[in-house]
Amino acid sequence: MKIISVVGARPNFMKIAPFCRALAKYPEVKHVLVHTGQHYDARMSDSFFTDLGIPEPDIHLDIGSGTHAEQVGRTMIEFEKVVKAEQPDWIVVVGDVNATCACSIVAKKEHVKLAHIEAGLRSGDLGMPEEINRLVTDRLADLLFTPDRISNENLQKEGVAEERIAFVGNIMIDTLEAQRSRAEQLTVAEIIRRELLLPCEVPAMPENGFAVMTMHRPSNVDRAETLAPLIEFLTGEVANDLPLLWPIHPRARKQLELFGLWNLVREKIILLNPLGYHDMLRLNMGAKVMLTDSGGLQEECCVLGTPCLTMRWNTERPITLKEHGGASVLVGNDVNRIRAAYWEEMNSSRRPQRPELWDGHTAERIVHILREK
Ligand code: UD1
């Protein structure tokens, strides 16, 4: 049996690591790991391979940045050559980034069976590029590995045959469980010292008395009318209440510079480089509150119990919301709403939750099913 698996961007790496590890137990399965190169900076890509023990990719497509059509188009052109040369039995894609969608289309056009890890998530918001990627990938996949039962229901509603769906749990939590003890050994002070983006005065900070934010989605950072009030609130209110740490994504930095907000941000927020996996996990373990528009962080906050204000109007991961027992509240990008939720969360404590099958063994279940096919 020969399997090609694909990664492209940062959120893919923590999903492929446990899959590679589980597959390596079966030397009779030939595994070819392809990196499309959508993310290419050392801090956005290489560090995860080293930190999570992901093997060096067998093939690198070097796609790089670009518009969505450029990324998807270039990936399809290059990946088609790989599939023709390798002739795999299965192609395995993870998550919802452009690489996921582009390689899924190529797989089916080349008549190769396709498996999707993290299938069935739906935000219902076609304004998000990731939602388009999810819909295309799941429509094409022969085998859909879901992280929760809500995702199974979404797929059933779309008419996906029951025998194509396998509820296996959340593979990202395999990585969290495997890496938790290493993260626990780090201190917040040492992470800040090592990863400070710009020289600034760092307030003395209790190991567990700070807020962490991440923000990079087009819906929050691409328009000054949305970004400016958010920054005003974060710098003028949150950062006055607690030290606020922001490991900043390159896209967000560019937008802040473009809209003339950079100086305000660097004065009030403790800016960090994009962080490695263990550093981010350690900050999440100690944060009093997380403010984020990331999908993966919502899930990690759920398992760690970190109160999470999700700066989006919808989520493809409803299982992480408070109404389903999780730790996250949807606050959109309305400042009044974020403020109210922030103060409410300040009075609440950590309540770790573990949705069904988020047990650290998802990759083993996936590999078992694939080998039976
Ligand atoms: C992508 C994913 C998104 C995920 C995010 C996490 C899609 C559609 N989106 O969005 O789901 O949450 O990754 O990081 O696939 N850049 C660098 N260095 C890099 C990569 C990018 O500087 O290594 C800069 C480039 O200027 C680039 C911009 O960041 O134009 C955005 O990168 P891109 O991969 O297009 O999308 P993300 O916003 O990172």
| Predicted TM-score (pTM) above 0.85 | yes
Question: Using a 6 Å cutoff on CB, does residue 175 contact ligand 1?
Answer: no
Q: Is 330 in the pocket of ligand 1 (CB under 6 A)?
A: no
**In the chain, which stretches have pLDDT less than 50?**
none
Shared-domain flag, residues 58 and 97: yes
> 241 C-alpha vs ligand 1 centroid, how far in Å?
31
What integer pLDDT is reported at residue 201 of this predicted model? 82
Count of structural domains, the chain = 2
Is the same domain home to 120 and 75?
yes
Catalytic residue (choose from 60, 216, 324, 361): 216
Which domain CATH number covers 122? 3.40.50.2000
Answer yes or no: do 271 and 291 share one domain: yes
Name the DSSP letter for residue 20: H
- From 35, 39, 98, mutation site for ligand 1 pocket: most ligand atoms within 8 A of C-beta: 39
Q: What is the pLDDT of residues 211-256, one digit of tens each?
A: 999 999 999 999 999 999 999 999 999 999 999 999 999 999 999 9
Q: How far is the CA of 64 from the centre of ligand 1 (A)?
A: 9
Instruction: Confirm if 131 and 122 have CB atoms less than 8 A apart.
Output: yes
Examine the domain organization and report whether 132 and 199 are in the same domain.
Answer: no
218 lines ligand 1 (CB under 6 A): no
- Based on the fold, state whether residues 24 and 163 are members of the same structural domain: yes
CB 113: neighbour CB atoms within 10 A? Answer: 17
Protein residue whose Cα sits closest to atom 21 of ligand 1: 39
CB of 40 shorter than 6 A to ligand 1: yes
d(CA 75, CA 80): 8
Given CA atoms 255, 260, 262, 265 in this order, what sign does their dihedral have?
A: negative
- Is residue 39 flagged as an active site residue? no
**Cα(278)–Cα(241) distance, rounded to whole angstroms?**
26
Exposure of 15 by Cβ count < 10 A (0-12 exposed, 13-18 middle, 19+ buried)?
Answer: buried
Q: How far apart are CA 132 and CA 205, in angstroms?
A: 41
Considering the domain architecture, whether residues 223 and 156 belong to the same structural domain is answered as no
Q: Which ligand 1 atom is nearest residue 71's CA?
A: 35
Tokens standing for residue 236 = 């003028």
Q: Are residues 269 and 196 in the same domain?
A: yes
User: Residue 44: CB within 6 Å of ligand 1?
Assistant: yes
Q: How far is CA 192 from the centre of its chain?
A: 22
Distance CA 102, CA 221 (A): 25
The pLDDT of residue 120: 98
- Do 166 and 184 fall within a single domain? no
CA-CA distance, 372 to 359, in Å (whole number)? Answer: 22
Whether residue 258 sits in one domain with residue 299:
yes
Res 208: pLDDT: 73
- Output the six-digit token pair for 126: 């076609």
216 CB within 6 A, ligand 1 = yes
Q: Where are the alpha helices (DSSP H) in the chain?
A: 10-23, 47-52, 68-86, 98-109, 129-140, 149-157, 171-184, 188-195, 218-221, 224-233, 239-241, 250-258, 262-268, 277-286, 295-304, 335-346, 362-372
Instruction: Please tell me the residue having the least CA distance from ligand 1 atom 3.
Output: 97
Q: What does the DSSP 8-state code read for residue 236? A: I
- The CA 348 to ligand 1 mean position distance, Å, reads 33
CA distances from 167 to 25, 34, 305 (A): 22, 25, 23
Cβ of 97 below 6 Å from ligand 1:
yes
My answer on whether 247 and 128 are in the same domain is: no
Q: Are residues 126 and 78 in the same domain?
A: yes
